[in-house]
Amino acid sequence: MLEDVPFTISHLAAVVPLRSGRTRVEALPTAPLVIGAMVPDLPAVLGAADLRPATHTGPFALVLDLVLTAVVWCAWVAAVRPAVVATLPGLAARWHPVPRRRPAVVWWVAAAVVGAASHLLWDACTHSGEGTTWFEAFAGQERVFFVLQLASSAVGLLVVLAWVRQWWLRTPVTAAVAERRPWLPRRLAAAVVLLGVVGGGIWRWQHAASQTSGPASGSLTVGEVVFGTLAGALLAVAVLTTAFWVRRWLVEAPSDDEVERREPTSEQVPG
């Protein structure tokens, strides 16, 4: 059975209704809600599948997921988001909501917990060995849960894609931001991400194939490939983010002549 599905991104389908339409909850900030819904899979994405129970079924799973959400959120706000904004002006032009006060810590924590809890509940309903089996009559019938995992992954992904399309079409564009030139050609950025996705999938597939054999290994290999593509995407984003900040530092760093011009002379120093 696939232990690596529902697909990590599909888990967003459980929380996007809280950020749109009649079910929108204004108090819940989007970033921790979205990150929390995916973060329980982070150990598996990074190749530490043995730690998966700690973020899914352990007694302190929600606490650990909350900590991981905070770490990923800090990286997103401090480093990744500015790089994404500079790379995709068209996307950044839609990231300008009406100014409002920063969310209270309690609402940030609530959003992260809701996101993580939705992930754990979803997995508990689609994995016979996690949490409470919601259909005792199907306990031990791996094929039933296998179908649930694949079906819920597909439906969830469709919901997420539909939500993204709706958001893109309905969100007003800030013209000044949309007209900015990206720091890196979009095709080059897309090529880097594509290379990471394909490379990660191939590497994890080869690793899984070398560790397992026989017909029963097929589902495991598929799961490894799924997480490999996500790991490759994260690596590509990390490379692009690092390149963005290095370039920004080099471009904005003053030259020696500029530093000398900025240094005050003896006549300019007061006293």
Examine the pLDDT at 270 and tell me if it is beyond 50. Answer: no
pLDDT digits (tens, 9 = 90+) for 187-242: 999 999 999 999 999 988 887 777 665 544 555 567 778 888 999 999 999 999 99
DSSP letter for 51, please: G
pLDDT digits (tens, 9 = 90+) for 126-176: 876 654 545 555 555 667 777 788 888 899 999 999 999 988 888 888 766
Enumerate the H helices of the chain as residue ranges: 30-38, 42-45, 52-56, 61-75, 81-87, 89-92, 105-126, 142-170, 175-178, 186-211, 217-252, 256-262
> Which of residues 127 and 96 earns the better pLDDT score?
127
**CA distance to 42, 202, 229, per residue, from 198 (Å):** 19, 6, 6
DSSP letter for 76, please: I
pLDDT band (50, 70, 90) for residue 81 = very high
Examine the pLDDT at 28 and tell me if it is beyond 70. Answer: yes
Residue 6, preceding bond cis, omega within 30 degrees? Answer: yes
Under a CB-based contact definition with an 8 Å cutoff, are residues 149 and 126 in contact? Answer: yes
Where are the chain's structural domains? Answer: 1-182, 184-254
| Residues sharing a CB contact under 8 Å with residue 118, sequence separation 6 or more, in sequence order | 11, 14, 15, 37
